Structure 1
Amino acid sequence: MTAMNDLIKAAPGAATRHPLAWVPTLYLAQGLPFYAVALVAGLMYKSMGVPNEQIARWTGLLGLAWVFKALWSPFLELARSKRGVVVCFQLAGGLAMAAMALALQLPGWFTASLVLFAIVALASSTHDICADGIYISSLSERQQAAYAGWQGAFFNAAKFLSMGGLVMLAGFLEDRMGPGPAWATVFGLLGALMAGLGLYHLWALPETPASARPQGGACGVAATLIDVIRAFFAKPGIWMAILFIILFRAGEGQIQTIGPLFLRDARAVGGLGLSTAQVGAVYGTAGTIAFLAGSIAGGYFTAALGLKRAMPFLIVAMNLPNAVFWGLGVAQPESLGVIAAGLGVEMFGYGFGFVGVILFIMQVVASGPYQTAHYALGTGFMQLGFVLFKMISGDIQAALGYQAFFLWVLVAALPVLVLSRFVWRESASAS
């Protein structure tokens, strides 16, 4: 670690680099381990015979690392180099994913894989705090809005790189060497990609000034944490804002967990019966293009209209396309082109709308002192909403079946739309 810190300090400064030289790759590196835990793990476990309920429950529990990351965010405020923290945890996450290739060959592979996923989750959630801090500190508020589309696009492009190309590769290899070796290969590649991004960011990332260090060592840091939490909950309308953030992802947390399993499950139980490779194909083609287009368009749309005026459109865009899954469940189409077109509509809306919650946290909830730590708290509550609904999604789907479950997801998305009419009255004004 000391040698790595010396290397990071020696890296040339990047304060004048164009944001497009580092914003896309930074959020690609933020998304890869997140989606490895949140989605790719679920498809791997599905291929290896783990039931839907256990997949949703265990991958949901792993998501708690992103919920509680704010508790150690003040310690990271004291880091001499946010760039250093970002690079170190990118490399640590890459090493843990590479180790998955060995763990999947063990007799106790399930337990070993959960331990390694937990390490990936902790490294990734810690990395995210400083990555977001670099974004906030290096860009003006107008730039934050303008590049939010790129931020969201490449964070979620990691999903489609994983769910598209790498899952297609896993499906190809499953037919030739079996699920265990196939997924070991995929995670070995993911680990190598994360290491490559970490080395690139030694050159590309801007450096930001270190925060002032509190007096008193560990006691001073603890006092800072208490003050961060106190200041966060003293914000005007904070409880309404927290409820809004949690509910924003109510539909998404469920559909993003069960949707891929629905595509894989047999038609006899209400699924579409796609292979692993076919799931990768539909997410990696129409889904990729549609999501990237929606994310970038959503960022510029919000920058032009303003967050408050744009928010209802963003919420509808993010949640209404979930009706696509209900339609697929009812129609049970056999054409891969029809399925891909439906998912393209769904993913354009999701990409367009995801910008809303990110900018709401960044510009409304995280404004003022302790900007980085308060953004981490806000995104922690955002992740809590995702995790809570993810964890129960498997049990709800098992009880209702796929068609009724997708109707429930549409209903679960309505409260945040209603709440959006009131949250602005309670919270600090958005820019």
Structure 2
Amino acid sequence: MPSVSQQTPKVPSSTKATYRNPWAWVSTLYLAEGLPYVVVMIVAVIIYKGMGISNTDIALYTSWLYLPWVIKPLWSPIVDILKTRRLWIWIMQIIIGGALAGVALSIPSPNFFKYTLAFFWILAFSSATQDIATDGFYMLATTEKEQAFFVGIRSTFYRISTIFGQGLLVILAGYIQNNTGLPKVNLHVNARPGVALIQSLDQQPITTAPLEGQLRILAQPEVVEVSPEVRSKKEIQSLIALAKSNNVQNGFYQLEKKAEDNPSWWSTYVSKPIGALFSTLISNPLEAFLKSHFAPEPKSKSDTSGNIGLVSIHLSKPPGKDVVVSLGSRVSMGLGASDDKSFSVAEGTRLVFNDQNWNQPALGVIQLDPKLKTSASTTMQVSSGNIPLSWVITMFILSAMFLFFGIYHRFILPWPATDQPRTADSLKKFMKEFFHTFGTFFKKDKIGFLILFMIFYRFAEAQLVKMVAPFLLDAREVGGLGLTTAQFGLAYGTIGIAALTIGGLCGGVVAAKKGLKFWIWWMVLAIHLPDAVFVYLSYAMPDNFWIINLCIAIEQFGYGFGFTAYMLYLIYIARGQHSTAHYAICTGFMALGMMIPGMFSGWLQDIIGYQHFFIWVLLATIPGFLIIKFIPLDAEFGKKTS
């Protein structure tokens, strides 16, 4: 062993590179900044939707994850005071990698929702802290000329992170789902006049012994024939109810667990009393009103209903774990029409098999459109992609990426001379300046209208964005479009983001020519009116994948174009002394404006359905129009100077 005096001494700080070409680190830094936000805000929603969490819970709990970005201006001084921004960056990236690994390890657990939310909270706070350090470091490690040049580079790689996160990663998860799990079973459904009508359900337990070979799905009959003869609605509803009762009794639905027998002090004395009071005074009366006036209308107001066919589904042997089996139609990837609209699944879209019910008959009910009078056919699919495995692999890939980012930036980022922790002498002065900065922000002219603008400009979009993924992924039988995870990744995560980026670029170009004041009303129209495409999608429910893509592209282009006005106006608000700190406060209000509406969007959609929800979203754009009349704006702001 060498003596202490023989050991290699630490490299003195004077030998560390105070400057390094930004091409070596700006791209990776902003790629790492954008990815966690996408994972928390978008990918988490997709994961929970695939794992069977309700829209109400998805919207509520994932909206709370906005909180770190809302309050990050409050702890930004900690990043500024303690250690260096460089250190904060790579440490946060290592923590983000660990949190993503925690999500991956939690997904297969029985209480995955609770555990993954905990890791998503760690991820959100670490990501918001990384944002503070990254933006501050960028200002310290680049010259003014480089800052102007690389602002486009950093924005581009932030967009790339968005495409990668909610596009390519989601497509990867969908690919894994499509190529794992049990072999798919194609179910041929024929509407044929003269077929005997189903009069009752008398399903006995399947007594067959476990079959040899690999675990597989068994569906009987393989060809379902249904007479297109219309029948009494009451009769059909009774048969569907019996099928659902069978599925519930045999444990094919994952029901919510009862509250713990020994609730915590917080639950007993704080959350439950407050929740009960809120429910009594507000949510229960409001829910009753909404259900009585705006609940989804029955598909048919007549006393007759389309006929049904039955399929019995079970497994070949005990699976050794929970296996989720889905029954549904397929969205056409081509341009041709299909007969799928005449067939729908009235019961059995999502069934959970385990060692106790593997040989019990799970009943799928396929219903015909009552308008169908002639012969028709379609092919439905009984599938069981391994959803947990797909997200475990995806999250581990992301985790490895962030471990790489942390190590890479640990060695590649420069050591700017100005990136130093504050001394004890400057701490008191800094804190005084910190509170003074907040005070000057709230003394701005028409600050009330400015805050209302920051909160309500995207009031409608904040609700819409939480329900887009559930709507696109939900089965058509419950009002969604029934896209697969891979199709969602292509439509919303790739084509949609590309349209969003193009819209943002166009907005920036036109604003630079004639200024924000000239374009602001056009941008308000652009961000709000295209929301109507979701009203169309929810009513028309096209099965052509490229029509769905076109609608998403229109809405996202409009959002990108209109969002330019929002971001430019935040810069307008932050002008003057303390512009950096004031802009950080603005971004906090921006996140607050997304968090609160998103929290109740799932609850509202569950009550009134997708169609009425998207109509409500259009009505929710009204505050965004009204507030524009009251905000100050210089005519020359935003114009590019020669």
Instruction: Give the TM bin, normalised by the shorter chain.
Output: 0.7 to 0.9
Gap change, CA 1:194 and 1:10, over 3 Å in 2: farther
The correspondence of residues 32-431 of structure 1 with structure 2, limited to 5 A, is: 32-78=35-81, 81-134=84-137, 154-175=157-178, 176-177=180-181, 178-199=386-407, 201=409, 203=412, 207=416, 209-210=418-419, 213=422, 222-361=431-570, 363-424=571-632
Secondary structure in structure 2 of the residue aligned to 1:112: helix
Q: More helix by proportion, 1 or 2?
A: 1
Instruction: State the match for 2:321 in structure 1.
Output: none
Amino acid at match of 1:262: F
Secondary structure in structure 2 of the residue aligned to 1:421: helix
Secondary structure in structure 2 of the residue aligned to 1:272: coil
CA contact (8 A) 2:84 2:421 kept: no
Q: Cα RMSD between the aligned structures?
A: 3.3
Instruction: State the match for 2:289 in structure 1.
Output: none
1:177-231 deviations in whole A, cap 9, x for unaligned? 4222211111111222233444555536795834894756765554343223212
Secondary structure in structure 2 of the residue aligned to 1:128: helix
Secondary structure in structure 2 of the residue aligned to 1:129: helix
CA contact (8 A) 1:149 1:300 kept: no
The correspondence of residues 17-36 of structure 1 with structure 2, limited to 5 A, is: 17=22, 25-36=28-39
How many matched pairs?
A: 423
The TM-score normalised by the length of structure 1 is 0.86
Q: Offset at 1:42? A: 0.9
Identity of aligned residues (%): 36
Segments of 5+ residues of structure 2 without an aligned counterpart are: 1-10, 182-385
Instruction: State the match for 2:328 in structure 1.
Output: none
Q: Offset at 1:33? A: 0.8
Amino acid at match of 1:242: I
CA contact (8 A) 2:86 2:413 kept: no
- Point out the more displaced range, 121-130 or 217-226: 217-226
Amino acid at match of 1:29: A
CA contact (8 A) 1:240 1:423 kept: yes
Considering only CA atoms, is the larger Rg found in Structure 1 or Structure 2? 2
CA contact (8 A) 2:171 2:485 kept: yes
- Point out the more displaced range, 286-295 or 206-215: 206-215
Secondary structure in structure 1 of the residue aligned to 2:546: helix
Mapped to 1, the partners of 2:550 and 2:437 lie a distance apart of 46
Amino acid at match of 2:136: G
Mapped to 1, the partners of 2:12 and 2:577 lie a distance apart of 31
Gap change, CA 1:8 and 1:351, over 3 Å in 2: farther
Amino acid at match of 1:132: D
Segments of 5+ residues of structure 1 without an aligned counterpart are: 1-5
CA contact (8 A) 2:466 2:601 kept: yes
Secondary structure in structure 1 of the residue aligned to 2:22: coil
Gap change, CA 1:378 and 1:217, over 3 Å in 2: same
The TM-score normalised by the length of structure 2 is 0.60
Mapped to 1, the partners of 2:13 and 2:492 lie a distance apart of 36
Amino acid at match of 1:366: A
Gap change, CA 1:152 and 1:359, over 3 Å in 2: farther
Gap change, CA 1:12 and 1:139, over 3 Å in 2: closer
Q: Offset at 1:233? A: 1.2
Mapped to 1, the partners of 2:413 and 2:48 lie a distance apart of 36
Mapped to 2, the partners of 1:29 and 1:86 lie a distance apart of 10
1:100-135 deviations in whole A, cap 9, x for unaligned? 221223333222111100000001111112333345
Mapped to 2, the partners of 1:140 and 1:247 lie a distance apart of 34
1:346-385 deviations in whole A, cap 9, x for unaligned? 1122222223322322x22333343333222110100000
Gap change, CA 1:322 and 1:227, over 3 Å in 2: same
Q: Offset at 1:66? A: 0.8
Amino acid at match of 2:33: Q
Q: More strand by proportion, 1 or 2?
A: 2
Mapped to 2, the partners of 1:142 and 1:247 lie a distance apart of 35
- Point out the more displaced range, 135-144 or 366-375: 135-144
Amino acid at match of 1:50: I
Gap change, CA 1:388 and 1:206, over 3 Å in 2: farther
Mapped to 2, the partners of 1:208 and 1:380 lie a distance apart of 29
